[in-house]
Structure 1
């Protein structure tokens, strides 16, 4: 059976992306789904760690992301992904422009949950904002999990 890969895509891939990867990974594990959740950024600095606030927010939600490292999106990552989840509509537009062949496999977090909602980038905000947005990301993932399973 082929391994199912979900690719989470953001800008620098050091804030919302590692949080989304960790939260989705936990949800999939709770459902007994051994899917790979990968991460990439459209302007990522390869090997950059997750933002300190992202790490702190995840710790507050019981997850550890200290080992996370950012990676720039590649053709191979896009080709291997069953579904690409863009953290916001701006990132989705970049994916559509760079990888038109992946348009049908690309969805934003908000679209996945059936909502017209982008999670704002909490860069340079206090950790409380990061925790709030992490909880909202988790809520969107839970709301969209059935759709994700169908798409994959």
Structure 2
């Protein structure tokens, strides 16, 4: 089993949305049964459920927020991950400051999607991740996903759409 770990700040908005939406997508794509999706926060609101607005956005897209509980980004959580996908360059930097050896498998979501677009659609799964990881890629601020916490429902809708759109591109390509 391979695990994608999504990372954000509080682990109540962006990363749990990405985790649960990816699980939803995996159920619809053959070949993704060997993948698991998890999330954690660099300043997690440990034990909290998913934020209400992002939960509603997830449900509207077919995902399920039930039972989610926020957790902190720890060494054990990181060690379980095969691919680490941060919502902002700051979160990626937090991971790489403590675990510099993970540079070839730690990306922002926008960065990973941008890089994956450079590879033909036939390049998938371990082959895609191996090719992407073979090079160091610079994260860009424009790859960041805006934090919807304590913002309007319109911002939550926009952020959910952005994350879902990127995951719609990426998750099916994880299948071998």
Q: Which runs of 5+ in 2 are unaligned?
A: 116-141
Q: Is the 8 A contact 1:112 1:140 kept in 2?
A: no
* Aligned match of 2:157: 131
Distance 2:25 2:62 in 1: 13
**What's the CA shift for 1:79?**
1.4
Structure number, greater radius of gyration: 2
* Aligned match of 1:61: 61
Superposed, 1:49-128 pairs within 5 Å as 49-114=49-114, 116-128=142-154
Q: Is the 8 A contact 1:112 1:147 kept in 2?
A: no
Please say if 1:142 is aligned against 2:168.
Answer: yes
Regions of 4+ moved over 6 Å: none
**What's the CA shift for 1:60?**
2.1
Residues 37-76 of structure 1, C-alpha deviation per residue, up to 9 Å, x if partnerless?
1111111122111111111211222222031101111212
* Aligned match of 2:11: 13
Aligned CA-pair RMSD: 1.8
**What's the CA shift for 1:146?**
6.0
SS of aligned partner of 2:114: coil
Distance 2:101 2:76 in 1: 13
Q: Is the 8 A contact 1:41 1:73 kept in 2?
A: yes
SS of aligned partner of 1:25: helix
Distance 1:25 1:49 in 2: 17
